Each structure stands twice: as structure tokens, then as C-alpha cells.
Amino acid sequence: MYFLHKTSKNNPKEFQLRGENALSYDEKNIPPHPPSKPEIPLPLTSDSLREVFAGSGDFLQHTVYVMGREDLKLHLFALDGMVNTANLIQGIMRPLTSNPVLKDTRDFQDLLSRVLHGGVYSFEVKLREKADDAALDLISGSCVLVFDELQRAVTFETKGFDFRGVSEPGGENVLKGSREGFIENIRMNTALLRRRIKSPNLVLEQFVVGRETKTTVAVAYLREFTNADLVQVVRDRVQSMDVDGVLSATVLEEALIEKPRPLFPTLLNTERVNKFCSGLLAGRVGLLVDGLPLGYLLPVGLSQHLKSEEDYGFHPVLGSFLTLMRYACFLISILLPGFFVAVVNFHPEMIPVELTLSLISSRAEVPFPMFLELLTMLLAFEVLLEAGVQLPREIGQAVSIVGGLILGSAAVEARIVSPIVVIVVAMTGVAGFVLPSQDLAGALRIWRLALTILGGVGGLFGLSIGGIALIFKLCGTESYGVPYLYPFVVSGSPKRILESVARLPTQDVKFRDPQLHPQNKRRRK
């Protein structure tokens, strides 16, 4: 298609990107990621900071004469929008010019030590000796006071940017329980954790990940509860990430999950603070990322994805019923279309007589084979689902009207699809909606399509092969050393299985999951 592209030959004035061999890279000859430090090979002076941030419109600079003395000239820098200007003026600039503590300052060295020890009203004061550190502080929302003569700087925490308030989680509904969800600001999220678990045992280890984005990642765990080796592995994996940016969830997820990444989710993400905290209390490790309103829990298996925190808000019998129903819906959602097409096309003798007759009469004038019909409807359902996600909420309703009307009634009335196929696809879809984890539902969508094709091509034989492949795959998956199908495999303990498929009364769940190898095994008296 290159010849269709209007080149600059035709239009010599047109702008063209300069660079050698722009159309493709010779990937083997690109040097590896260069070591990251130091980024600014300059001494820490006001001029070098000006040079680094030259061209940035939000770069604020100010020159201060300490106590009005022209011999004590300092430079103050900040990034507009990142700092709270009122704090900056009241807490930094006012004391610099009028604090009696700074009176009779002899020289810059003396001034520096006075500033570091209460001469300026700021709680978080850091002495910086490298231009890199000072620049990073500046970017994170601190203001920087540069002592040109000493080639040093003092940075004050004056963060003051806006963020979304704590609100109800959008992706997870809550009936009976805390409505607080994580937000994009990691500091607020850690505060939410601290408010739930008021224990010095709660450790929030912070790492900075991403060369350019400098994203804060916090690893949360309970010190005397969680397995120390598990924490070490998570720590190692977070630290070994070397990428330019951590902006989306995938970058972190793929660094944390073993390769090749299984389709079924081996990390649990939740927006709900309560769910996250109960995961920590169970002995899991949690991860928070700045900029993502999500918390990750690991290790998790299939049974954690099928459990909902809501179950613990209801009576054990009701909770158990809901959990069992979710397991049933998991199976329905993955097997129903494949089973249906296999039975109808290959084994009509398995269907009860009356149902056979109604199936035959409902398919009377439909021109397509049932397999094709089912596959088309499944794909149409996926398209509708994706359309509902992508459309803005204001016009999202149009999808349900058009989808429901056209794919539901109109297509049936026009005899393009048979009603039974619509019912099967709808049942499959609704059963998939029951799952609390969207990642799991996504994996099911892919496997469902594969099993439908196998069932349509090979009947129950094909479906069995697909089922065996699925079980084989799941049995081979692990999340940080915990088998994915635990406790249905490995555990050998009916009690563990019962805990997974039912919601036992809380006084009966006395111990933490042994598969997590927690340091503190007992969870209640």
C-alpha cells in the first residue's frame, strides 16, 4: 500500500519525519535498554535544573533572598499543578523570608542545616545531592530549593494535585458490604488499607517501576502472617521489571505471571477494599499500583475467582447455595453451546421425544445448519457485549435495544435463527455474567467458542477431547506454586473442598489455607 501514500516528492513542503530506515526496524541490531542512571549528568545547580526542564510550560521558578539578604540567594522550583501553591507560599516562602530561626545565618552551610531542621515549615524535608533525585522529587510534586554554592538542594513535600474521590466500585456491585473502592491515587489507597487493618503488621513496601513513568507500586502483606518466600518472589518480580512505562494493568500482570501466561487468570484483581483486605488476612500478598483503581491479590486459583465477598454477607446456607450456583453457571457457560450442538447434530436419540419434536418444528424454515447458526449467534453476542463496553453510557442503551430486538425477536421471526438457539446463547451468556471475575469470564468466552467448534465438528467425542484438554491445561497451571485447581486437586481433604464450594459458618473456618504456607496458621480461636 506504500505506493498509495502521498510522498513528500509530490508535495515538497510537507513535513517529514527524519530518521534512517523509518519503515521497519532491524530488531537484532538495536542495542539493549541502556542502563538508566544517571539521567542528568550535571551538577545539582539551578542552571542544570533549568536546562532539564527548558521548554516545559508548567515549570515554576522563583529566586528567594533569605531574610531579605542579597548574599543568601536561593532558587525555588516547582511544577505548576503538582504542588499546592498556598502550601508553598505559607510553608516555604514565608518562613524563608521572615522566620526568626533563620536570623543571623552565617553562610550557606549554616543556612542549609537550619532549613533542614525546622527553619521551613514542611514535614517531609529531604536533602538531595544529585540532580537526578532532585528532578524526580520535583516531578513527584515536591518543590526544590537549590543551594547553588553547595551544589545541593532541599526538597519539600508540597503535593497538591486533584484526584477522584473514593467512590463505589464501578466494576463490582455491592449489596451488603463496604462500598469503598480503590481510586487512582496510591496514597489514598494505602490509607484505605490502613483504615481497615489497623495493625503494625501491615507492611506496604514501595517500589518505583517504569523508567519514564516512575510509577509507584506497593506490595502489601501482613508481616507475621504471610509466607516470607512468597513476599520475596513478588518483590523480585516487581523489581526486575524494566520497562518505559507502567500505565496499563497488563504490563504489571505480565511481569508477575509465569510465562507462558495462561488464559485463565492467576491474579485476582478487585476494586473493593474489603475484598483486598480479606485476601491479605487470608495470607495472600497484595499489590497496589499508582494510577490504577485496582488491587491485585496473589496467589489465587479457580476457587477464589468463583467466590464472591458478598457470600459472607448472607446466611451460610444462602451463601453456599450462591457459591454452588456459581460453579454450576461456570460449567453451563463453558459447556452448554458445545453440548447442545453435539447432542442435536450427532446424538438426537439422547433428547427426550417431546423436545426432539419441538426442536424439529422450531427449525422448520431455518436455512442454516444449526452449528453455523449457533456459532454466528455466539459471535453476535460477543460483538454486542463489546459494543456495550465501548459505547459511551449515553448511547449504550441503543445497543441493548438494537441487539435485543434484532438478534432476539426479529431474527427469530424472520426464520434466520431458531428460537432454541437464541435461548441457548442467552442462557450461556447470562450464566457467564454470574461470575464475579471479569478475567475468568473472558477466559470462558474463548474456551466456550473452542468447545462449541469441537462439539459441532466431533459431537460428544469432540467435546470430550476439548474437555480433557481444558482439564489438562488447568491442572498444569500454577499461581506462585499453588495449583490452579487447588483444592480439587492436591489437597486430598474434603474439608478444603467443602470450604471452596460452600460458604461455611465463619467459626468453622479456623485455619488459613495450608497451600499458602502462612506463618500464622490459625485465624480464629
Q: Which is nearer to other proteins, 417 or 516 (CB)?
A: 417
Q: Which is nearer to other proteins, 363 or 448 (CB)?
A: 363
The least distance separating other proteins from the CB of residue 151, rounded to whole angstroms, comes to: 57
Q: Which is nearer to other proteins, 161 or 461 (CB)?
A: 461
The least distance separating other proteins from the CB of residue 375, rounded to whole angstroms, comes to: 7
The least distance separating other proteins from the CB of residue 356, rounded to whole angstroms, comes to: 6
Q: Which is nearer to other proteins, 42 or 359 (CB)?
A: 359
Q: Which is nearer to other proteins, 70 or 349 (CB)?
A: 349
Angle at the Cα of 190 from the Cα atoms of 185 and 193, rounded to 5 degrees: 130
Q: Which is nearer to other proteins, 134 or 421 (CB)?
A: 421
Give the number of C-alpha atoms closer than 13 A to the C-alpha of residue 44, restricted to the C-beta side: 24
Find out whether 157 and 123 touch, Cβ atoms under 8 Å.
Answer: yes
The least distance separating other proteins from the CB of residue 469, rounded to whole angstroms, comes to: 15
Q: Which is nearer to other proteins, 145 or 451 (CB)?
A: 451
Q: Which is nearer to other proteins, 325 or 446 (CB)?
A: 446
481: left (phi over 0), alpha (psi -120 to 50) or beta: left
Give the number of C-alpha atoms closer than 13 A to the C-alpha of residue 457, restricted to the C-beta side: 9
Find out whether 223 and 201 touch, Cβ atoms under 8 Å.
Answer: yes
In angstroms, the CA 113 to CA 120 distance is 11
The least distance separating other proteins from the CB of residue 367, rounded to whole angstroms, comes to: 10
Helix (H, G, I), strand (E, B) or coil at 511: strand
The least distance separating other proteins from the CB of residue 350, rounded to whole angstroms, comes to: 9
The least distance separating other proteins from the CB of residue 461, rounded to whole angstroms, comes to: 10
Q: Which is nearer to other proteins, 42 or 460 (CB)?
A: 460
In angstroms, the CA 258 to CA 249 distance is 16
Burial 177-205 (b: 16+ CB within 10 A, else e): ebebbbbebbeebbebbeebeeeeebbee
> Residue 86: beta bridge partners?
none
SS3 of the chain: helix, strand, coil, percent, to 5: 50, 15, 40
The least distance separating other proteins from the CB of residue 429, rounded to whole angstroms, comes to: 22
The least distance separating other proteins from the CB of residue 452, rounded to whole angstroms, comes to: 12
Report long-range pairs for 47-56 (Cβ below 8 Å, ≥24 apart). 47/148, 48/131, 49/75, 49/77, 49/131, 49/134, 49/135, 49/138, 49/144, 49/146, 52/131, 52/135, 53/77, 53/135, 53/138
DSSP characters for 446-496? HHHHHHHHHHHHHHHHHHHHHHHHHHHHHHH-EETTEETTTTTSS---HHH
The least distance separating other proteins from the CB of residue 257, rounded to whole angstroms, comes to: 22
The least distance separating other proteins from the CB of residue 446, rounded to whole angstroms, comes to: 16
Q: Which is nearer to other proteins, 143 or 344 (CB)?
A: 344
Burial 211-239 (b: 16+ CB within 10 A, else e): bebebbbbbbbbeebbbeebbebbeebbe
Q: Which is nearer to other proteins, 71 or 365 (CB)?
A: 365
Q: Which is nearer to other proteins, 162 or 349 (CB)?
A: 349
Burial-class residue 288 by CB neighbours within 10 Å (0-12, 13-18, 19+): buried
The least distance separating other proteins from the CB of residue 340, rounded to whole angstroms, comes to: 11
Which parts of 351-466 are beta strand (E)?
none
Burial 138-150 (b: 16+ CB within 10 A, else e): beebbbbbbbbee
In the chain, the amino acid numbered 3 is F
* Residue whose C-alpha is closest to residue 418's, from 490, 368, 462, 356: 368
In angstroms, the CA 238 to CA 221 distance is 15
The least distance separating other proteins from the CB of residue 146, rounded to whole angstroms, comes to: 57
Find out whether 126 and 88 touch, Cβ atoms under 8 Å.
Answer: no
Q: Which is nearer to other proteins, 344 or 440 (CB)?
A: 344
The least distance separating other proteins from the CB of residue 36, rounded to whole angstroms, comes to: 35
Q: How far apart are the first and last CA of the chain?
A: 72
Interface residues with other proteins (CB under 8 A) are: 344-346, 348-349, 353, 356-357, 359-361, 363-364, 366, 368-372, 375, 456-457, 459
Burial-class residue 38 by CB neighbours within 10 Å (0-12, 13-18, 19+): exposed
Q: Which is nearer to other proteins, 99 or 356 (CB)?
A: 356
